[in-house]
Amino acid sequence: MSYSAQQLYYLQRMGIDVYISRDHSDALQNVAIAGQPENKASLRDGFDENAWQELQDEVSHCTRCDLHRSRTQTVFGVGNAHADWLIIGEAPGADEDKQGEPFVGRAGKLLNNMLLAMGMQREQVFIANILKCRPPNNRDPRPAEVACCETYLRAQIAMIQPKIIVALGRVAAQNLLQVDTPIGRMRGKQYTYPHADIPVVVTYHPAYLLRSPRQKQKSWQDLQLAMKIFRERQ
């Protein structure tokens, strides 16, 4: 199976029938090569492993808001801390709260297929959330809770130094970019992370795509935009 055929395979697993031109196929492969863990160029100069561990420990013991009373465990994030790609979601759900890892279950499987369609594995990116603890009954994060967690996410972004951020869903996009624009109007555009010169692309949350599979084509268009932006920054 050729590499471009692999992309088509995972797009089909996402439920998307799409023709990938030769240019798009080359772009996908370029993204995959750049994202390989063995690519030493992706390692960040000055990355402090001790500081990263200290941040993780601080998050695991956090009591800044009342969410610590109902959580099973915190969800710091998962993946490659030297990654070029940072994927940011909303908050842990029930499965994530139990396992301590973001995007598990059906939504996680769909996200994995989205990444594979882009030519990357889950382990090659870093995945985090706006909140590190699960809100009860999976309700939307409250502003005070987001404010308590914001310093953790900002620290992660500063240490990872990603070349691009993909925000999954309305809550992640609005809080990351500090706007109240509906997600339908945020799609298809390039934004900049407010605290650093990092491009941000917004797309639908995998959980939403499971409920609204017809929107998967739009989500794939967003990911293609992200790949184009990433390629231009190489």
pLDDT score recorded for residue 3: 36
pLDDT score recorded for residue 233: 87
Report the alpha-carbon distance of residue 213 to residue 37 in Å, rounded: 32
Report which secondary-structure segment, H or E, holds 196: none
pTM, entire model: 0.84
| CA–CA distances in Å: residue 38 to residues 47, 124, 227 | 16, 10, 20
Report the alpha-carbon distance of residue 101 to residue 79 in Å, rounded: 10
pLDDT score recorded for residue 84: 97
Report the alpha-carbon distance of residue 38 to residue 13 in Å, rounded: 27
In eight-state DSSP terms, residue 68 is G
Per-domain residue ranges for the chain? Answer: 3-232
pLDDT 10s digit of each residue in the chain, 234 long?
343 555 555 555 556 555 444 444 454 455 544 444 444 344 566 789 999 999 999 999 999 999 999 999 999 999 999 999 999 999 999 999 999 999 999 999 999 999 999 999 999 999 999 999 999 998 999 999 999 999 999 999 999 999 999 999 999 999 999 999 999 999 999 999 999 999 999 999 999 999 999 999 999 999 999 999 999 988
Report the alpha-carbon distance of residue 104 to residue 214 in Å, rounded: 22
Beta carbons within 10 angstroms of residue 50's beta carbon = 7
* CATH architecture for residues 3-232: 3-Layer(aba) Sandwich (3.40)
pLDDT score recorded for residue 2: 41
Q: Which residue in this structure is represented by tokens 């030519």? A: 119
Of the candidates 176, 186, 167, the residue with the CA atom closest to the CA atom of residue 127: 167
Q: Which residue in this structure is represented by tokens 């889950």? A: 122
